[in-house]
Amino acid sequence: MSQCERTSWEFPALPYAYNALEPYIDAQTMEIHHTKHHRAYFDKFYAAIQGTELESLCMKHIFSMVSTLPLAVRNNGGGFFNHKLFWKVMGPNGGGEPQGALAEAINQSFGSFEKFKTLFNEAAANRFGSGWAWLIVKEDGSLAVTSTANQDNPLMDIAEVKGFPILALDVWEHAYYLKYQNRRPEYVSAFWNVVNWSAVTERFEKASQ
């Protein structure tokens, strides 16, 4: 696999205020999610790699051989990476539709933006238990909607469908229970109002480089 730069092992700040995604995702959920859940994944991941050869590798490299590593690396490394991506692809003043090359790729792979959304909503709703829904760029450059269990992700060698994730949605109950309780589909539908399509487009461009 290609070389990738070492990631700095720092817990990332949320790129906006805890209440920035209101009313779609409430401030209390965001604060607990970031300072407790995400923080715990980061701390446990770092504890698992500190002083080992993994410390000098980037996440992509670690995920590419995660099946050979301790389960703590898979679960907490996934939790660390997935949430960092999740925060980035949301933001205040989000929503709408992607433009340009990403919009074209979505039309080409799914037929239309609405059809893509339907597939993504289904992936998020049908993920049994805890996990994530993804929009990924596959090796052949096409887009696909997938979902993974727990804190797995499409960069991992154990993923059923592999690819470079450009949009992520956390469907663990901790991501929505305070506001939506058992109504996961309402949370998924609210999510579209906070998607930061410029961030998703940047990742799409990064994937095709």
By CB under 5 A, the count of residues binding Mn ion is 4
Enter the tokens of residue 21: 């995604």
Give least dist CB 172 to Mn ion, A. 5
Query: How far is 63 from 57, CA to CA, in rounded Å?
Result: 10
Candidates 22-30, 126-134, 174-182, 194-202 — which segment interacts with Mn ion by CB under 5 A? 174-182
Give least dist CB 74 to Mn ion, A. 16
**128 touches 172 (CB < 8 A):** no
- State which amino acid sits at residue 184: R
- Under the binding rule (CB under 5 A), the answer on residue 176 touching Mn ion is no
- Under the binding rule (CB under 5 A), the answer on residue 18 touching Mn ion is no
Residue ranges of E strands in 70-194: 131-137, 143-149, 164-170
Assign 129 to helix, strand or coil: coil
Query: How far is 107 from 88, CA to CA, in rounded Å?
Result: 23
Give least dist CB 35 to Mn ion, A. 12
Give least dist CB 105 to Mn ion, A. 27
Report which residue's Cβ sits closest to Mn ion.
170
Q: What does the binding site for Mn ion look like in residue numbers (CB under 5 A)? A: 37, 170, 172, 175
